[in-house]
């Protein structure tokens, strides 16, 4: 019975993958077939974790295991080509995912019929495995396939132009990339980078391509921060790690050949939230008299939890939309990051987490007013859900905290912020809040460069190996840093 249930699940997943692959993209979409492939595999990951839940695995950790396994392949194939051998040993490729899932989420009794006993010559904890090394042809095929799926340096940049070390900054794990030609310099600029993933997923290894490319093109040192993730470590744990790592870099810049007055912060999605949160924190807290942040780069950032009643959520938040980031992803991220569980996800999803009185009278509601959007993106939306006063009292200290949702910062706190680069994408539920943030910063005298990429989806920079616009956008970010830091 378990076997046939498994067969049915796999069949449904394959069928849905085919449906996603051939769903028409909106008119004008760049490289629609490539975008469809990426969206399809993203959806498949979510469905695979749902299927795993049906056979007794934990859904969140299964999804993490898949994402991190793929990230390890991407990081190894792109940055450390030689280590792809770890993934090419006989029978290891398929087993790697299974072992990662079972190690991450524990035992799975319903999975027993699909397991097999390890033979005596297979890898055991603490022992090296003696096996046949992959052929040169096998390695070429694997590296080529991984790069086509996950990306290669844009515009011919070679990642051999950077080197990295895994270090610890005051208890926070980081990966430090250095341009090879800047190894002996003492006045280099630097970037502290915070990865995305809804505060729940990913780690620096999955961002090797992006961070090493920026280091190479912009000729700066990049510190990629491995901050703690929710739900195991809800807010403010991850944010505190980001502040700690940035402060360490500001204090110890000389150890890395960096000018402490030429340090910027950056991040994508949830990482954009963390980058602006760090900039706000350090601009307000001057007790240590640290050098000021030189610039911030916010790539399709998540910056508010006040309302999901925005045109971009309305258009791109549902299933079947050309956006990787759906409304339920954002609602789950709010709940997991704030409370460490999904108990409040339904309230966020249905926009019932704000009291009616607050909606009608609070100053902060003007921070998410559609008047801050370009006229072509404004839209009348019916949002008549009654708010839950009890839930609002429970979470208002989160969603009004500018270190949790930076768009809630007062005008007086925005004025001292450094020059800012904001990147938004059209097929993105976070599009509108990115526009609102850019406009509020401009209104408060901040030097802002806002680049909006139409016909592209949330996360497209992470696929710069297969999307031409992803390559160009990543290169543009690096060029901005080269000019501005």
Catalytic residue, from 49, 269, 321, 335: name it: 269
Q: Is 203 a catalytic residue?
A: no
State the sign of the Cα–Cα–Cα–Cα dihedral 302, 307, 308, 312: negative
DSSP conformation class of 293 = P
Give 422's strand partners.
298, 450
In the chain, what are the domain boundaries? 2-116+131-149, 153-305+400-484
DSSP conformation class of 321 = S
Catalytic residue, from 428, 455, 462, 475: name it: 428
Tokens describing residue 169: 């900054």
Per-residue pLDDT tens digits of the chain, which is 485 residues long: 556 666 776 676 667 666 665 566 676 666 665 666 666 666 666 666 666 655 666 666 667 666 666 555 444 433 333 333 333 333 344 444 444 444 444 433 333 333 333 333 333 333 333 333 334 443 344 344 444 444 443 333 444 567 889 999 999 999 999 987 755 577 899 999 999 999 998 889 889 889 999 999 999 999 999 999 999 999 999 999 999 999 999 999 999 999 999 999 999 999 999 999 999 999 998 788 899 999 999 999 999 999 999 999 999 998 777 788 889 889 989 999 999 998 999 999 988 999 888 988 889 999 999 999 999 999 988 876 788 899 999 999 999 999 999 999 999 999 999 999 999 999 999 999 999 999 999 999 999 999 999 989 898 998 877 788 889 999 999 999 999 99
N-terminal to C-terminal alpha carbon distance within the chain: 61
| Alpha carbon distance 97, 160 (integer Å) | 28
Please name the fold of domain 153-305+400-484: Rossmann fold (3.40.50)
For residue 49, whether the previous peptide bond is cis, meaning omega lies within 30 degrees of 0, is: no
Q: Is 458 a catalytic residue?
A: yes
Q: Is 80 a catalytic residue?
A: no
Cβ(273)–Cβ(301) below 8 Å: yes
| Owner of token pair 């809800």 | 234
For the whole model, what pTM was predicted? 0.79
State the sign of the Cα–Cα–Cα–Cα dihedral 382, 384, 388, 393: positive
Catalytic residue, from 458, 462, 475, 476: name it: 458
């Amino acid at each position: 019975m378990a076997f046939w249930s498994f067969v049915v699940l796999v069949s449904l997943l394959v069928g849905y993958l085919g449906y996603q692959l051939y769903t028409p993209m909106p008119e004008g979409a760049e490289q629609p077939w490539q975008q469809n492939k990426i969206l399809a595999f993203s959806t498949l990951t979510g469905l695979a974790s749902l299927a795993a839940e049906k056979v007794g695995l934990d859904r969140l950790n299964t999804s993490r295991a898949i994402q991190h396994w793929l990230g390890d392949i991407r990081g190894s194939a792109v940055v450390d080509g030689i280590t792809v051998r770890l993934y090419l040993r006989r029978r290891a490729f398929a087993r790697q995912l299974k072992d990662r899932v079972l190690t991450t989420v524990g035992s799975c009794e319903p999975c027993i019929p699909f397991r097999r006993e390890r033979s005596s010559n297979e890898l055991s904890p603490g022992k090296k495995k003696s096996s046949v090394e992959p052929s040169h042809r096998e390695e070429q095929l694997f590296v080529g396939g991984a790069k086509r799926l996950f990306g290669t340096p844009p515009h011919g940049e070679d990642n051999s132009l950077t080197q990295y070390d895994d270090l610890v900054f005051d208890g926070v794990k980081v990966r430090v990339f250095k341009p090879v030609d800047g190894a002996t310099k003492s006045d280099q600029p630097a970037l502290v980078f915070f990865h995305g993933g809804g505060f729940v997923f990913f780690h620096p290894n999955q961002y090797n391509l992006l961070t090493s490319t920026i280091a190479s093109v912009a000729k700066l040192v990049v510190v990629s921060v491995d901050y703690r993730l929710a739900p195991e470590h809800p807010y403010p744990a991850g944010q505190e790690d980001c502040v700690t790592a940035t402060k360490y870099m500001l204090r110890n810049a000389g150890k890395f050949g960096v000018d402490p007055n030429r340090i910027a912060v950056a991040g994508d999605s949830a990482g954009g939230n963390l980058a602006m949160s760090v900039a706000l924190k350090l601009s307000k807290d001057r007790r240590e008299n640290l050098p000021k942040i030189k610039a911030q780069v916010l790539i399709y950032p998540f910056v508010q939890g006040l309302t999901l009643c925005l045109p971009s959520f309305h258009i791109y938040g549902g299933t079947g939309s050309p956006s990787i980031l759906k409304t339920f992803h954002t609602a789950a991220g709010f709940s997991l990051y704030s409370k460490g569980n999904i108990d409040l996800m339904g309230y966020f999803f249905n926009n019932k987490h704000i009291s009616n009185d607050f909606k009608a009278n609070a100053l902060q509601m003007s921070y998410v007013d559609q008047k801050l959007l370009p006229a072509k993106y404004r839209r009348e939306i019916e949002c008549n859900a009654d708010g839950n006063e009890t839930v609002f009292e429970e979470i208002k200290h989160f969603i009004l905290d500018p270190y949790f949702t930076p768009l809630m910062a007062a005008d007086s706190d925005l004025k001292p912020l450094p020059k800012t680069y904001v990147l938004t994408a059209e097929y993105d539920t976070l599009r509108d809040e990115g526009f609102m943030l850019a406009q509020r910063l401009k209104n408060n005298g901040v030097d802002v460069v806002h680049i909006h990429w139409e016909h592209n989806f949330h996360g497209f920079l992470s696929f710069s190996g297969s999307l031409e616009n992803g390559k160009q956008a990543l290169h543009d970010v690096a060029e901005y840093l080269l000019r501005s830091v």
